[in-house]
Structure 1
């Protein structure tokens, strides 16, 4: 099969790899029909995540058709169209039975926090991902779901991470009716978080970024106010001015380890390419939320040192909520929003790229070229 293969920071190729076999009776092999490049894939691409090994295939957002199943699989059949959450989880451990699918205790021998994630380094279990023609899906009776007949495949693809994560970010904000909600980052997750904030009763939604084409999308897709942080000496001061000098009630941080900022901020934030990443956006969130407010963290961070202003958060009495999204838990509510016409996830897709040109897709997405917001990868076998 053709597969994206990692060869080092900024170096990926399409190579021939063996089609993955059934390794366990609970496995399924999925023929991928659509995959996507996620903003958090760029952390791998840039060499920011530890233990990202040469030869790995990325891709934790994908849908496809069941090609074969193990002898124990009961809920899927060959030929089913399925959507696969980015979490790999067993469904029966202490955490899974409590709905914490992203913290499964049985699928990742290399970490005590996160469970398994497709195509996201050996820190997250070492599973190959879906930026390929075929992918092995463990615990196939637990994660994958047959795509409803009424659901468009592009919309289903975005439910496997970006939409579910953005919705979860708004959910963790514990938004009350009339709240002012600020979202740092106008990438796919930030756009979906801003859109979802309205569903939860927000009275005002503000999106902060520095790329004008993404801010325009925040205005048209998420119906949000926007601020371009590059236009202000201090975006926190501007946020205070725009919220009666109190700060937002809820701030959703949807940027993560590779936040942008000026040189002084990078130095004082100890941005030395450590895998913990730059906490600039997170510190802005802590500074721009009101006292007693809530910060929801959706941005992806590595497991190492990051200079977060925790003392400020404590002294302001903030509630900090964060986790990798337990994707499948969000689907019933999101199905209803999509079915009722309140949300069209695929509206954020800007690029469709054949699998054989995925290296160019990563370059376009990483360098923010061609007003790229969300690239979809289409294998030749789709």
Structure 2
């Protein structure tokens, strides 16, 4: 098969790889029909994620058609059109039993925190991802779901991470009717978080970013008020000013660690890769929320030290909610919103790129060229 292959920081290419075999009776092999590049893939692309090995295939957002199933798989059959959550999880451990699918205890030997994630380094289990023509899906009776007949492929694709994560971020904000909600970051997840805040009763939604084309999308897609932080001496003061000097009721960090790393990471090289990241957005969130408010964190942070203003959060009486999204838990309500016309996830897709040109796709997305918000990858066999 043809697959995206990592060759080192800023170096990806399409190469021949063996079609993955069934390794366990619970496996399925999926022929990928659509995949996507996620903002968190840029951490891998830039070499900022520990234990990202040469030869790995990225991609945790994908849908496809079942090509083969293991002998124990009961819920899927060859030819089924399926969507696959980015979480790999067993469905039966302590954490899965409580709906914490992103914290599964049985799918990642490094599972002190996160469970398994497709195409996201050996820190997250070492599973190859879906930026390829075929992908192996473990626990096939647990993760994948049939795509509803009425749902478009691109809408289904965005449910596998970006939409579900944005919606989850709004959930974590504990939004009450009439609340003012601020979202830092107008990438795909931030846009979906802002859109979802309205569905949860927000009375006002503010989006902060520094790229004008993304802020324009926040206005047209998420109907939000927008602020370009590069235009203000102090964006936190501006957030206070626009909220009667109280602060927002809930603030969502949809940025996380900068995808190209911070100065310390570049100077210290691999030893401190994604050492927690530069938590600028998170500290802005802590400073911008009102006393007694809620900060929701979905941005990708590494497992080590981060200079977060925890004392300020404590003294302000803040509630901090955070996790990787348990994707499949969000699907029933998201399906309702999409079917009822409240959400059209594919409205944020700006680029559709053949798999053979994925290196150019990564470059466009990474360098913020051509007003790129969300690139979708189309394998040649399904183009």
C-alpha distance in 1, partners of 2:376/2:14? 16
Cα distance, 1:269–1:127 mapped onto 2, change above 3 Å: closer
Instruction: Tell me the number of residue pairs that the alignment of Structure 1 and Structure 2 aligns.
Output: 378
C-alpha distance in 1, partners of 2:356/2:22? 25
Summarize the alignment of residues 1-382 of structure 1 with structure 2, pairs less than 5 Å apart: 1-258=1-258, 274=272, 275=274, 276-382=276-382
* Length-normalised TM-score, structure 2: 0.97
C-alpha distance in 1, partners of 2:220/2:267? 33
Q: Quick check: 271-280 or 96-105, which moved more? A: 271-280
RMSD over aligned Cα, in angstroms? 1.6
Matched-pair contact (CA < 8 Å) for 2:173–2:250: yes
C-alpha distance in 2, partners of 1:19/1:267? 40
Cα distance, 1:194–1:363 mapped onto 2, change above 3 Å: same
Matched-pair contact (CA < 8 Å) for 2:352–2:375: yes
Partner secondary structure for residue 109 of structure 1:
coil
Deviation at 1:111, TM superposition (A): 2.7
Partner secondary structure for residue 24 of structure 1:
coil
Matched-pair contact (CA < 8 Å) for 2:105–2:111: no
Matched-pair contact (CA < 8 Å) for 2:291–2:317: yes
Cα shift readout 1:293-350 (whole Å, capped 9, x = no counterpart): 0000010011122111111111111000000000000000000000001110000000
C-alpha distance in 2, partners of 1:114/1:369? 32
Matched-pair contact (CA < 8 Å) for 1:32–1:379: yes
Name structure 1 gaps, 5 residues minimum: none
Write out the 4+ residue segments of structure 1 that deviate beyond 3 Å after TM superposition.
Answer: 266-274
Deviation at 1:259, TM superposition (A): 7.0
Partner secondary structure for residue 135 of structure 2:
strand
Cα shift readout 1:203-247 (whole Å, capped 9, x = no counterpart): 000000000000000000000000000000110011000000011
Matched-pair contact (CA < 8 Å) for 1:259–1:278: no
Name structure 2 gaps, 5 residues minimum: none
C-alpha distance in 2, partners of 1:281/1:220? 23
* Length-normalised TM-score, structure 1: 0.97
Matched-pair contact (CA < 8 Å) for 1:260–1:280: no
C-alpha distance in 2, partners of 1:271/1:346? 39
Cα shift readout 1:102-140 (whole Å, capped 9, x = no counterpart): 000000012311000000000000000000000000000
Cα distance, 1:268–1:202 mapped onto 2, change above 3 Å: farther
C-alpha distance in 1, partners of 2:162/2:51? 24
Deviation at 1:271, TM superposition (A): 9.2
Cα distance, 1:73–1:255 mapped onto 2, change above 3 Å: same
Deviation at 1:270, TM superposition (A): 11
Partner secondary structure for residue 357 of structure 2:
helix
Partner secondary structure for residue 308 of structure 1:
coil
